[in-house]
Amino acid sequence: MKSSRSATAYSFFIAFTLALTACAAPEPSPPPTAEPAVPSVEVEYTLGTENTHNRWSRAIPPVLTVPSGAIIEIETKEATDGQLTLDSGVEVMANLDFDPIHPLTGPIYVETAEPGDVLAVTFHKIDVLGWGWAGVIPGFGFLADEFPDARLKTFSFEEGQTHVQFDDNISIPLRPFPGVIGVAPATEDELVTIPPRENGGNMDNRYLGVGTTVYLPVLVEGALLSIGDTHAAQGDGEVGGTGVEAPMRILLEVEVRKGGRVLAEPEYETDEYYAVTAFGETIDEAARKATRFMINYLEAERGLSRVDAYLLCSLAGDLKISEAVDMPHYLVSMHMPKGIFRVPPS
């Protein structure tokens, strides 16, 4: 049994230790924000939603012509092209007309862009414009056969808002991005926007937000860039069929890159990682293609042998199911962290 003096000293020691620990404890991390810091860029061109389209074709005339390096501010509509509003009821969701789905802003003709080039699109700022919606559309989604009834949630957004309130207990960080981004395919046929393709399309890749540069293979003269189907928040795969669909204002930069590696499908990068994308009629097919595309990148840009590139994909690559809702078309991405490399790519 301790003496009273020993007990007092022991109690003082414990209290002093706890006080030191509290002082040394790091401050809690700030809550996630909707987007990272915005670089200082000046708008050179603007493009509204007066003229939109929802097909891919080289025959669709451009609504804006810009030089390589242009800074453009564009606005987008929400995915249903006005069929849904903030005050809509679930009966509207149950009777959606898919023909006008995915109104795209564009096409934008980028001077000097030619087949075989790469169009780099960097997102500097993305603002959600006022409202959005999410829901379950009958007959659409990864588990469409299990959820036959329509469901609709609408949300209003104030300037500077960083989260969407799913319900009284659930708050989801805003991470806005375009669900559809692409260039015109080398065909005059009008292709629907829904599946992802080599030209981009309905990629629904939630990592294509502020700070990301997307690399699109140029397939026709001028590239003919179009963007739409903007999402304020979405999980990997978009399994239920929608993100938080919302109109947006996007500040972006376009750059034509010549003489480099020819891309089979879109790729993208941030400060933290480089990523490839691949579409396929099964997730297995898309995942295999994504792995091969990353091996190709590591060979060409990082100087690895093919077998070492394959091994590195296994040790450090992250396969992600980016889009699983456009069955039988799927999109898989592979991310490779840049921090593992001592020198930049060649």
Per-residue confidence (pLDDT) for residue 38, from 0 to 100: 57
Q: Predicted confidence band at 264 (pLDDT cuts at 50, 70, 90)? A: very high
Q: Where does the pLDDT of residue 327 fall: very low under 50, low under 70, confident under 90, or very high at 90 and above?
A: confident
What is the mean pLDDT of the segment spanning 7-16?
42
The pTM of the full predicted model, rounded to 2 decimals, is 0.88
Delimit the domains of the chain by residue range. 45-263
Is residue 124 within 8 Å of residue 252, measured between CB atoms? yes
Q: Which of 191, 195, 178, 184 is nearest to 220 (CA)?
A: 184
Do 119 and 184 meet the contact criterion of CB atoms below 8 Å apart?
A: no
> Per-residue pLDDT for 30 more than 60?
no
pLDDT score recorded for residue 2: 41
| 265: pLDDT strictly greater than 90 | yes
- Specify the higher pLDDT residue, 8 or 193: 193
Contact 151, 105 (CB under 8 A): no
Give me Rg for the CA atoms of the chain: 24
Tell me what the mean pLDDT of segment 254-269 comes to: 98
Q: CB under 8 Å to 149, separation ≥6 — which residues?
A: 94, 136, 138
**pLDDT value at position 27?**
40
**pLDDT given for residue 37 in this prediction:** 56
Mean pLDDT is lowest, of 1-10, 163-172, 315-324, for 1-10
Determine the pLDDT at residue 8.
Answer: 44
What is the overall mean pLDDT for the chain? Answer: 91
How would residue 124 be classed by pLDDT, with cut points 50, 70 and 90?
Answer: very high
pLDDT at residue 18 in the model: 39
pLDDT exceeding 90 applies to what percent of the chain? 85
- pLDDT 10s digits, 168-215: 999 999 999 999 999 999 988 999 998 999 999 999 999 999 999 999
Pair of tokens at residue 93: 């969701």
Q: How confident is the model at residue 41 (pLDDT cuts 50, 70, 90)?
A: confident
* pLDDT value of position 39: 60
Q: pLDDT-based confidence at 11, cuts 50/70/90? A: very low
Task: Give 83-113 pLDDT, tens digit per residue.
Answer: 999 999 999 999 999 999 999 999 999 999 9
The reported pLDDT for the residue numbered 346 is 79
What superfamily in CATH does domain 45-263 come from? Acetamidase/Formamidase-like domains (2.60.120.580)
